[in-house]
């Protein structure tokens, strides 16, 4: 009953009393003017509100000694730039620079290929205008 309380109240206020309702969700306005309005259907398009291009950006193992596997999932086809920087911000390697399709992607980064010694590094994943980061500890 508790889960149904809010939808029932919302239905009563909007459709029975014919009130005007406006909500702000993640930067998108959702005006609902009356019972005949179809604008309210936007609320069901959750993916549009999240606007999340990348999910599950991880690397394993971490800490690592020889290599780490970088994994991420793209919500749509897009340009991807995956690079490694040190703590001073100096770019050490470009691991991926390509257009990639939607779905899960994995890249195995061999430290020896980039003369990486023990320390902490940052993986920088750029997807269109968004930037995601992960720390990598090399033993």
Confidence at residue 55, expressed as pLDDT on a 0 to 100 scale: 87
The correct CATH number of 54-138 out of 3.40.190.10, 3.50.50.60, 3.30.1330.60, 2.60.40.1930 is 2.60.40.1930
Return the structure tokens found at 104.
């899960």
Is residue 92 a contact partner of residue 85, using CB atoms and an 8 Å limit? yes
DSSP 8-state code for residue 111: G
pLDDT tens figures, 66-88: 999 999 999 999 999 999 999 99
| Domain parsing of the chain, residue ranges | 2-50, 54-138
pLDDT above 70: percentage of residues in the chain: 63
pTM tops 0.85: no
Whether residue 61 is preceded by a cis peptide bond, meaning omega within 30 degrees of 0, is yes
């Amino acid at each position: 009953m508790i889960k149904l309380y809010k939808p029932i109240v919302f239905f009563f206020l909007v459709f029975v009393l014919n009130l005007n309702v406006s909500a702000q969700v993640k930067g998108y306005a959702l005006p609902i003017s009356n019972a005949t309005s179809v604008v309210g259907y936007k609320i069901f398009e959750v993916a549009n509100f999240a606007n999340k291009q990348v999910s599950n950006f991880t690397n394993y193992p971490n800490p690592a000694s020889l290599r780490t596997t970088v994994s991420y999932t793209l919500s749509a086809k897009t340009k991807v730039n995956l690079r490694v920087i040190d703590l001073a911000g100096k770019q050490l390697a470009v691991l991926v620079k390509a257009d990639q399709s939607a779905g899960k992607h994995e890249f195995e980064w061999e430290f020896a290929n980039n003369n990486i010694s023990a320390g902490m590094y940052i993986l920088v994943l750029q997807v269109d205008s968004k930037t995601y980061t992960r720390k990598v500890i090399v033993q």
